[in-house]
Amino acid sequence: MNAPAPKPWILDIAPYVPGRSKTDDGRQVAKLSSNENPLGTSPHARAAFATADRSLERYPDPAAADLRVAIGQAHGLDPARIIYGTGSDEVLHLAAGAYAGQGDEVIFVRYGFAVYEIATRRVGATPVIAPDKDYATDVDAILSCVTERTRVVFVANPNNPTGTYAARSEIARLHAGLPSHVLLVLDQAYAEYLEPAEDDHGLELAKTQPNVLVTRTFSKIHGLAAERIGWGYGSAEAIDAMHRIRAPFNVTTAGQQAAIAAIRDKGFVEASRAHNRQWRTWFEGEIAALGNAGLRAVPSKANFVLVLFDGPVSAGDAYQALMGRGYIVRWLPGQGLANGLRISIGTEAEVRGIAAALREIVGG
Ligand SMILES: *Cc1c(COP(=O)(O)O)cnc(C)c1O
């Protein structure tokens, strides 16, 4: 007898590998593997979250109306054109699901976010990988991948796992070079870590250009990763299409309430950005000082740094040695980055500690 057969393109998916929180021997140590906020969560968000137990028996607001209004106020957006998801991961899947299918092509960069490939294959579309330019997004390479079959281009800016950033003029050039039938998904999961002058104007593009969708998350600077809340801004048509396929109650009540308080707490966001700026700069300096041991930091605009290992100690060896010293980072051989470690900017003690550990490990 034949068993039910999953679709072949589903079996082509390499499952997402999450950042680890424990060592091989089960110790809970400094987790610098998932780009979470080392300052925690806004106290206002925590307090709002705690009120949600009053309505545990009720479904959450399926329209996330108050959350959309709060996002609209924070960014000057029309709440009707905001989609929300169980993390921005869901919004990325919704974009692929609404715009691509079998026979279509979806472009993303070589060292791009792992979810793009999963979202592309899930709908039976074909992933097309644009080569990088020293780990960074290469607009010309993306444009030269475009064919009649291209339906979606995913670009994270800043990018994960590289931390690299494409300037406003490059994003504008990318958009201008794309045919109007191609949806440009600008994934801004780390946008709040940019200085205001570095804003790539993705939301401005999304306001006026029907083929631009911007995605954002509450998981990173807002410190709400546990609640899984993301959102997107696009044309009325795109938002309508994505609403048709999202899960009906895809953002929890506690999550909606916490997110509303979080996006209003500008002080917490600013403090998180300042902490990140200070300690990322410091950490990049420490890596530069280990250049003679073959280490190099890819210039980062995010809350993590990709450190490349080109000396006697390999990234894989350093990964194990760091784990032995109580630091879990992200080693991504499955994404073609066997030579690098992605290290999240943690607390001051964690950043100082991992820099000292690395120095010992590579003998700088
Ligand atoms: C962390 C991250 C996300 C956000 O994921 P959530 O599902 O919102 O937690 C999206 N894109 C990139 C590039 C990320 O690194």
The DSSP output letter for 104 is -
Q: Is residue 17 domain-shared with residue 118, that is, in the same domain?
A: no
Q: Whose CA is nearest to atom 15 of ligand 1?
A: 160
Closest among 127, 59, 95 to 231, alpha carbons compared = 95
Pocket residue to mutate for ligand 1, from 83, 115, 330, most atoms within 8 A of Cβ: 115
Q: How far apart are CA 243 and CA 275, in angstroms?
A: 36
Is residue 114 in some structural domain? yes
The beta strands (E) that lie in the chain are given as 30-31, 82-86, 105-109, 126-130, 150-156, 183-187, 212-217, 229-233, 295-297, 304-309, 327-328, 330-332, 337-344
> What is the full per-residue pLDDT of the chain (364 aa) written as tens digits?
789 999 999 999 999 988 888 888 888 789 999 999 999 999 999 999 999 999 999 999 999 999 999 999 999 999 999 999 999 999 999 999 999 999 999 999 999 999 999 999 999 999 999 999 999 999 999 999 999 999 999 999 999 999 999 999 999 999 999 999 999 999 999 999 999 999 999 999 999 999 999 999 999 999 999 999 999 999 999 999 999 999 999 999 999 999 999 999 999 999 999 999 999 999 999 999 999 999 999 999 999 999 999 999 999 999 999 999 999 999 999 999 999 999 999 999 999 999 999 999 998 6
Q: Domain count of the chain? A: 2
Task: Using DSSP bridges, classify how beta strands 183-187 and 212-217 pair: parallel, antiparallel or unpaired.
Answer: parallel
Q: Is the pTM of this model over 0.75?
A: yes
Secondary structure of 329-347 as H, E, C letters: CEEEHHHCEEEEEEEECCC
Q: State the distance from the centre of ligand 1 to the C-alpha of 115, rounded, in angstroms.
A: 8
Q: Is residue 253 domain-shared with residue 184, that is, in the same domain?
A: yes
Q: How far apart are CA 341 and CA 309, in angstroms?
A: 8
Q: State the distance from the centre of ligand 1 to the C-alpha of 89, rounded, in angstroms.
A: 6
Distances (CA, A) of 190 to 10, 50, 63, 76: 29, 26, 25, 19
Q: Whose CA is nearest to atom 3 of ligand 1?
A: 189
Of ligand 1's listed atoms, the one at least distance from the Cα of 112 is: 13
Q: State the distance from the centre of ligand 1 to the C-alpha of 229, rounded, in angstroms.
A: 10
> Domain end: 219, 244, 265, which one?
265
Is residue 1 in some structural domain? no
Q: Is residue 173 domain-shared with residue 240, that is, in the same domain?
A: yes
Closest among 202, 313, 247, 299 to 89, alpha carbons compared = 247
Of ligand 1's listed atoms, the one at least distance from the Cα of 86 is: 7
Q: State the distance from the centre of ligand 1 to the C-alpha of 16, rounded, in angstroms.
A: 12
Is residue 148 in some structural domain? yes
Q: Is residue 201 domain-shared with residue 118, that is, in the same domain?
A: yes
Q: Is residue 26 domain-shared with residue 111, that is, in the same domain?
A: no
Is residue 203 in some structural domain? yes
Q: State the distance from the centre of ligand 1 to the C-alpha of 1, rounded, in angstroms.
A: 42
Please check whether residue 155 is in contact with residue 167, taking contact to mean a CB–CB distance below 8 angstroms.
Answer: no
Q: Is residue 293 domain-shared with residue 239, that is, in the same domain?
A: no
Strand order in the sheet with 295-297: 295-297, 304-309, 337-344, 330-332
Q: Whose CA is nearest to atom 2 of ligand 1?
A: 189
Of ligand 1's listed atoms, the one at least distance from the Cα of 159 is: 13
Q: Whose CA is nearest to atom 7 of ligand 1?
A: 87
Q: Is residue 232 domain-shared with residue 337, that is, in the same domain?
A: no
Question: What domain range is 169 assigned to?
Answer: 43-265
**Residue 29: what pLDDT?**
87
> Domain end: 218, 245, 265, which one?
265
Q: Is residue 80 domain-shared with residue 36, that is, in the same domain?
A: no
Is residue 91 in some structural domain? yes
Q: Is residue 254 domain-shared with residue 289, that is, in the same domain?
A: no
- CATH number of the domain encompassing residue 259: 3.40.640.10
Q: State the distance from the centre of ligand 1 to the C-alpha of 101, rounded, in angstroms.
A: 23
> Domain end: 265, 281, 310, which one?
265
Q: State the distance from the centre of ligand 1 to the C-alpha of 230, rounded, in angstroms.
A: 8
Burial class (CB in 10 A: 0-12, 13-18, 19+), 195: exposed
Q: How far apart are CA 227 and CA 6, in angstroms?
A: 30
**Residue 19: what pLDDT?**
86
Q: Is residue 25 domain-shared with residue 48, that is, in the same domain?
A: no
Is residue 142 in some structural domain? yes
Ligand 1 residue neighbourhood (C-beta within 6 Å)? 35, 87-89, 113, 156, 160, 187, 189, 217, 219-220, 225, 230
Q: Is residue 57 domain-shared with residue 20, that is, in the same domain?
A: no
Amino acid at 109: V
Is residue 198 in some structural domain? yes
Is residue 3 in some structural domain? no
Burial class (CB in 10 A: 0-12, 13-18, 19+), 29: middle
**Residue 295: what pLDDT?**
98
**Residue 364: what pLDDT?**
65
The beta strands (E) that lie in 142-228 are given as 150-156, 183-187, 212-217
Residues 6+ apart with CB under 8 A from 354: 30, 32, 283, 322, 327, 329, 343, 346
Q: Is residue 341 domain-shared with residue 250, that is, in the same domain?
A: no
Q: Whose CA is nearest to atom 10 of ligand 1?
A: 189
